[in-house]
Chain A
Amino acid sequence: MSRVDNPAVDNPAVDNTASGALDGVLDPAPSPGAPRIRGLRRLRAWPWSLRVGLFGVLAVVLVLLATPWSAPFDPALQDLSNRLAPPSGAHWLGTDQLGRDVMSRLMWGGRFSVTIAAITLTISAVFGTLLGIVCARSKGVLDEFVMRVSDVLLAFPEMIVAMFLVSILGAGYGTLILALAVAGWTPFARLARALTLEINSRDFIEAAESLGFSRTFIILRHLLPNAFSPLLAHASVRFGHTLITVGALSFLGLGVAPPDSDWGSMLADGLPYMSRAAGLVIYPGLAIFLTALAVTLTGRGINVRPGRQGRG
């Protein structure tokens, strides 16, 4: 039993520098420069998905912000003599069934689509997450009640729930956002609840408890950051879904109403003319697809950001 006779018992003074130097040798060297250099200087280290996604999102946001000054035509200006025109020098993406400039309409429509989808998603994500965490922590009547309500909401397609609410509350942007948020919080609540239960059982939560941190502090500083990645991934996937739902509601006259239009309603409006002017369907569809893709890639990219999330 050599340890019993360890000289350290008699001489507990530890040579900090010596053991520290030893640790430095035994230690895997942290990737050079990774920990300290922050922000844009780390751009090279960003995964491609984050770079591409963020570029796409920024491009979309910039174009939509600049629309009032850069759109070539008034999106509502009709020119019945020039209906369903193919792309030309004046109308880069052609005209629709009423002779309106498709590109201008895409730009203005995107403002509605993206704004409504973003607001809706933010509300349902924040509300759903909070509710999920509260449910997981309380585990009582409240949990039971909220989860059963979410069961009911999940039993119906989201569209039906949103349509039902809009038809009761009346059309309008406010009610549209409210309806979509009410229909969309359930997956976030479910996910946040499951994540909370899982993360709560992890060791570092126990360590935080042993240091006397309050529940609120542990939730804010240790639980949320660890639940953030999966929630963000879910939110980024849902973004495209929400874009389409907004469009579908508009098509049914429950969302964005003429003379305003969004990508979804343009897609729906163009459907009857698909054989004569495929662009009317392709362009808004492409806009939805590319925007959703950019957001999804960004979400994915944030999740694989180096330095975050342990590998083992």
Chain B
Amino acid sequence: MTDTLTISGLTVELGPPGSPPILDRVSLTVGPGEIVALVGESGSGKSMTAMSLMRLLPPGARMRADAISLGDIDVLHASEHEMNHIRGARISMLFQQPKRMLDPTATVGAQVAEPLRLCLGLSRSQAHARVIELLADVGIAEPERRAHSYAHQLSGGIAQRVMIAMALAGQPDVLIADEPTTALDVTVEVQILQLIAAKRAKLGMSALFVSHDLGVVSSVADRIAVMYAGRIVEEGTTREILHSPQHPYTKALVKCAMLKPEADGSLYTILGDANAARAVSHGCRFRARCLVCTAEHLEQKCESEEPELAGCGRAEHSSRCWATIETRKAR
């Protein structure tokens, strides 16, 4: 079984040469029909990973990788012209602010029709019929009327549904969802997540979810990769990540997502500053905020060297922490 999406050794640098990389040797695979979630706090590089896949990095960003491929397509070495045929048709994207992702001067119908006419070469009337179909498919009531609406007349939930219709118009193999529900309220959030999960099942596509909210993605994702300061620190099935997180950062994230009050009634927070971790040139990036490091007397090791992702226990579960590795060795 070949993977639908493969990233290996993705490194992205921004700013003057020598500054710490935004992404540091990120490797990730998404299997056919699988939903993988990329979780991390702001600035951990999860959106950058998504944009690298689309090859839509901001100007000035330098990207290196061993391989980025989509099935049998080499995304890393595709020309800009080839990329235009890959985007929308093989790999699509959902964004955070659905209302700002719609052109204010064009009707919803006209915009959903664009990928149909451009990528699939449908005629005007064919495209129109398909637009109504697509809009109905994503659960928009009165699609005929909605097709004549402009972005500012839509609610956030409807706008994200329209974006989903647009993203799915080209029947992509992979859907990248970059915090698709962050701008929406909680009731709509669940609907959108269910919609994406349903579409995944129906169209047999894979999805890469990017989110800062472990709670949100855990309801839809098959596997979760946790990012911290530009690298993946833990990867595993959703169940394993939630029930037996290995990396201290993942543990803290899971604890945060539980929303269980501490003894004093406050909610759990991870102390320290995530952005400071970027400047750390050697050793584990998380060590300044890590509680395990000092507790297990691993300071020296954590400071001198960062571990590779190492398997821990069950298959497909790996973590980047000395404590986990030491415990495994001891057994």
Instruction: Decide whether A and B assemble into one complex.
Output: yes
CB pair A3 B153 closer than 8 Å? no
Q: How far is the CB of A244 from chain B (nearest CB, A)?
A: 32
- Interface hub of B84, B140, B190, B194 (most chain A Cβ within 10 A): B194
Among B15-23, B90-98, B125-133, B265-273, the one that faces the other chain is: B90-98
Q: In the bound complex, how far is the Cα of B194 from the Cα of A14, in angstroms?
A: 6
Q: In the bound complex, how far is the Cα of B133 from the Cα of A301, in angstroms?
A: 36
List chain A residues, Cβ under 8 A from B142. 24
B83's partner among A4, A8, A202, A212 (CB-CB below 8 A) is A212
B201's partner among A1, A12, A312 (CB-CB below 8 A) is A12
List chain B residues, Cβ under 8 A from A55. none
List chain A residues, Cβ under 8 A from B65. none
B152 close to chain A: CB less than 8 A: yes
Number of interface residues of B (CB under 8 A): 70
CB-contacts of B172-205 with A (<8 A): 187-188, 190-191, 193-195, 197-198, 200-201
Q: How far is the CB of A13 from chain B (nearest CB, A)?
A: 6
CB pair B218 A4 closer than 8 Å? yes
- Interface hub of B153, B161, B238 (most chain A Cβ within 10 A): B153
Total A-B pairs, Cβ < 8 A: 172
A3's partner among B89, B106, B119, B215 (CB-CB below 8 A) is B215
Minimum CB distance partner of B152 in chain A: A310
A214 close to chain B: CB less than 8 A: yes
- Interface hub of A19, A203, A214 (most chain B Cβ within 10 A): A19
- Listed in ascending order, the chain A residues whose CB lies under 8 Å from chain B are 1, 3-4, 6, 8-9, 12-14, 16-17, 19-24, 26-28, 30-31, 35-36, 202-204, 206-214, 217, 221-222, 225-226, 228, 307-312
A-B contacts, 18 of them at CB < 8 A, read A1-B242, A8-B190, A8-B194, A13-B201, A19-B139, A23-B155, A24-B142, A26-B187, A27-B155, A202-B100, A206-B95, A210-B54, A210-B87, A211-B87, A211-B167, A212-B86, A213-B114, A225-B105
Q: Which 8 A-B pairs have the closest CB atoms?
A: A212-B87, A310-B152, A212-B88, A35-B148, A211-B88, A310-B104, A225-B105, A14-B198
**Given A4-B215, A212-B115, 5 more pairs with CB closer than 8 A:** A4-B218, A26-B157, A209-B56, A213-B88, A213-B115
